[in-house]
Amino acid sequence: MGGIACGVFGQSALGGLGGVSLISQLIGTTLGVIVALAGGFAVYGAIKAFHGLRLSQEEEYYGADLSVHKIGAVSQD
């Protein structure tokens, strides 16, 4: 949003200093979003392919605190 706002409010007609193109800001912002989405899909796709994103049904039943971290929510005194 900041990149697009820079292109809008940087226009000399709106009181800005000028020298900023709204079109170039839109293109740059769009490319940045595309790169971020592609990177996110690549990272999560690799994690899903090699390790998986979810716990098993038994681990979900007991919860991540016991299954992953080996700690309980209540004391066993």
- Give the predicted TM-score (pTM) of the model: 0.65
Q: Is residue 9 part of a domain?
A: yes
Token look-up 């796709």 returns 45
Q: Is residue 77 part of a domain?
A: no
Structural domain harbouring 36: 2-67
* Mean pLDDT for the stretch of residues 30-47: 97
More confidently predicted of 52 and 73:
52
Q: Is residue 72 part of a domain?
A: no
Q: What is the total count of domains within the chain?
A: 1
Q: How far apart are CA 5 and CA 11, in angstroms?
A: 10
Tokens coding 48: 């899903």
Q: Is residue 21 part of a domain?
A: yes
User: Given this model, what pLDDT does residue 41 score?
Assistant: 97
For residue range 8-29, list pLDDT tens digits in order: 888 888 888 888 888 999 999 9
